[in-house]
Amino acid sequence: MDPAERRHEIVTAASRVAIGEGLERVTAKRVAEELGVVPGLINHYFGSVDDLVAAAFGHAAGAERAVVYGTVSAGAGPLDELKRLLAAFLQPDRDPVSLLWLDAWQASRRRPALLTEVVRQMEADTAQLSMLITRGIESGHFVTIDAASTALRIMALIDGLSIQAATRAQIDYSTVVDLVVGTIQLELGLAPGELTG
């Protein structure tokens, strides 16, 4: 296996561990177990655990974005795409990735490489949504002055709902979801119920 393929294999395995078990379990030893290799091989490609954790998180977040926006792109115009995006973000089956984000935000306080990757992934999410909003403005579906700022505010609302992944069984978040959807409608100049109808 050439070095690029091996590195990709290691990052993909580390990403599986991160999603399934949490970022704290992403170690050279655990990833080596996942691949059936010796930990020294992982250390050869990643000089520090911090770099391995950052790569695992970045791979998982990027892969999720590709899946979500792949589904969204099948929509019939910006409004339908936004409806699909919200449905994808609010699905309970997204909980493992939401929990991964919660892990990453917490761990990034003491892992500089992870902090850099978290910021990069947040900016990528916001940029992707900003492009969707811009298309909506151009087609006359959305009304907002600054697509990038609106996208950032919407992503902050979505990110705030990540906590439900950890507490969904104990707390009913349906009224919070209603608040998020209602606020997004206001941000984009949509009529009440336009995102849920």
pLDDT in tens, 121-172: 999 999 999 999 999 999 999 999 999 999 999 999 999 888 888 888 888 8
At residue 41 the predicted structure's pLDDT band, cuts being 50, 70 and 90, is: very high
Give the number of other CB atoms < 10 A from CB of residue 157.
16
State the residue range of the domain holding 136: 3-187
Handedness of CA 60, 16, 114, 152 (dihedral sign): positive
Q: Decide if 95 is inside a domain.
A: yes
Q: Decide if 197 is inside a domain.
A: no
Long-range CB contacts (< 8 A, 24+ apart) of 160-166?
Answer: 161/89, 161/90, 161/98, 162/98, 162/99, 162/101, 162/102, 163/102, 164/98, 165/94, 165/95, 165/96, 165/98, 165/99, 165/102, 166/99, 166/102
Q: How many angstroms separate the CA atoms of 70 and 75, rounded? A: 10
pLDDT of residue 111: 96
Q: What is the DSSP letter of 108?
A: T
Q: How many angstroms separate the CA atoms of 55 and 46, rounded? A: 9
Q: Decide if 159 is inside a domain.
A: yes
Task: Find the angle CA(131)-CA(81)-CA(167) to the nearest 5 degrees.
Answer: 100
> The domain spanning residue 115 has which CATH number?
1.10.357.10
pLDDT in tens, 102-130: 999 999 999 999 999 999 999 999 999 99
Q: Decide if 196 is inside a domain.
A: no
At residue 72 the predicted structure's pLDDT band, cuts being 50, 70 and 90, is: confident
Q: CA neighbours within 13 Å on the CB side: how many for 103?
A: 24
Task: Find the angle CA(147)-CA(81)-CA(174) to the nearest 5 degrees.
Answer: 90
pLDDT of residue 75: 72
Q: Decide if 164 is inside a domain.
A: yes
Q: Are 12 and 58 in contact (CB under 8 A)?
A: no
User: Looking at the 3D structure of the chain, how many domains does it have?
Assistant: 1
pLDDT of residue 141: 94
Q: Is 152 buried (19+), middle (13-18) or exposed (0-12) by CB count in 10 A?
A: middle
- Give residue for tokens 């080596």: 32
Q: Is the pLDDT of residue 35 over 80?
A: yes
pLDDT of residue 58: 98
Q: Decide if 194 is inside a domain.
A: no
